[in-house]
């Protein structure tokens, strides 16, 4: 790859919209961008070009770990031809990002931050986020895919542990049978993780791109059971909470 060095080296902001460049190529570009502070990497590909290599993506970003302030990573397939349930869409993980000590805003799905579903004992969100984070935006991309554990239940458990220190527990009948529909309650689990891991956090955004037309109502059902919406608990701690919905055809 060839670049006009005097111009490229001074670049501080880069938005790669609907980008087909793989992480390896992105890494070559970043080598010429020592002053980059804002990066949006909106990667799209066909299923035949998947999986997205999140480990390589993190390696590509490492040269910016002390200077990058704003990072957005998104991923979409635009052609599912040949896809079978369980086929890998990502491999590896973008996190942990604790070494990125200049990063103050992060925008990404948990399925990219954490990675594959087989990692059922992943570390808590406190170990995955940069220490100086001020704004966290979590997208619901790749939700519901059989590849990932990031369905709404796992998603809600991670957020509750991070923001309130609570555990989301499923209720069973005296005979040990699951209720239908499922029933949940909140159990005290400790101090909110964000206070020590990301003490500067001031804003959380839940970007429900796909869930806008989903039939699932898990989040509202759990919050009904608990009697305390997550939004209320987050805002009580001085963190601004927003939930975005995108109205479009599936």
Q: And the tokens for 108?
A: 């990404």
Given a cut of 70, whether residue 121 has pLDDT beyond it is no
Predicted model pTM: 0.85
In the chain, the percentage of residues whose pLDDT exceeds 70 is 73
Q: Was domain 5-149+193-216+228-245 assigned CATH 3.80.10?
A: yes
CA distances from 28 to 1, 7, 17, 59, 83 (A): 8, 16, 18, 11, 30
Top mean pLDDT of 8-17, 130-139, 144-153 is at 130-139
Given a cut of 80, whether residue 233 has pLDDT beyond it is yes
Helix H or strand E encompassing 105: strand 105-109
203 conformational bin, left if phi > 0, alpha if psi -120 to 50, beta if neither: beta
Determine the Cα–Cα distance for residues 178 and 47; give it in Å rounded to an integer.
36
Average per-residue pLDDT for the chain: 81
Given a cut of 60, whether residue 211 has pLDDT beyond it is no
Crossing angle of the two packed helices 23-30 and 54-61, in degrees rounded to 10 = 0
Nearest to 130 by CA among 180, 78, 94: 94
Helix H or strand E encompassing 8: helix 5-8
For 69-73, 167-171, 201-205, 236-240, which range has the lowest pLDDT when averaged over its residues?
Answer: 167-171
Report pLDDT for 17: 93
> Quick one: pLDDT band at residue 220, thresholds 50, 70, 90?
low
Given a cut of 70, whether residue 166 has pLDDT beyond it is yes
> Quick one: pLDDT band at residue 6, thresholds 50, 70, 90?
low
Note whether 43 and 101 are within 8 A (CB). no
pLDDT (mean) for 96-119 = 87
- The domain ranges of the chain are 5-149+193-216+228-245
Report pLDDT for 117: 56
Q: Give the tens place of pLDDT for each residue, 18-42.
A: 999 999 999 999 999 999 999 999 9
More confident residue, 145 or 203: 203
Residue 131 CB neighbours (<10 A): 17
Given a cut of 90, whether residue 130 has pLDDT beyond it is yes
Q: And the tokens for 50?
A: 């998947």
pLDDT (mean) for 45-59 = 88
């Amino acid at each position: 790859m060839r670049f006009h060095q005097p111009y490229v080296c001074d670049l501080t902001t880069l938005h790669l919209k609907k980008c087909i460049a793989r992480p390896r190529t992105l890494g070559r570009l970043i080598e010429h961008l020592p002053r980059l502070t804002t990066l949006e990497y909106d990667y799209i590909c066909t299923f035949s070009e998947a999986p997205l290599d999140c480990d390589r993506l993190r390696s590509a970003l490492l040269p910016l770990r002390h200077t990058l302030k704003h990072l957005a990573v998104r991923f979409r397939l635009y052609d599912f031809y040949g896809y079978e349930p369980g086929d890998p869409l990502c491999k590896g993980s973008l996190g942990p990002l604790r070494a990125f000590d200049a990063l103050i805003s992060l925008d990404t799905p948990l399925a990219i931050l954490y990675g594959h579903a087989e990692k059922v004992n992943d570390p808590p969100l406190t170990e995955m986020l940069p220490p100086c984070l001020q704004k966290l935006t979590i997208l619901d991309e790749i939700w519901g895919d059989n590849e990932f554990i990031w369905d709404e239940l796992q998603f809600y458990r991670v957020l509750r542990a991070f923001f309130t220190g609570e555990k989301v527990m499923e209720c069973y009948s005296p005979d040990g049978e699951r209720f239908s529909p499922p029933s949940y309650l909140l159990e005290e689990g400790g101090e909110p993780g964000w206070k020590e891991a990301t003490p500067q956090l001031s804003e959380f955004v839940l970007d429900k791109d796909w869930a806008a037309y989903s039939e699932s109502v898990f989040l509202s059902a759990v919050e009904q059971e608990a009697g305390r919406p997550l939004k209320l608990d987050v805002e009580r701690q001085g963190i601004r909470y927003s939930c975005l919905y995108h109205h479009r055809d599936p």
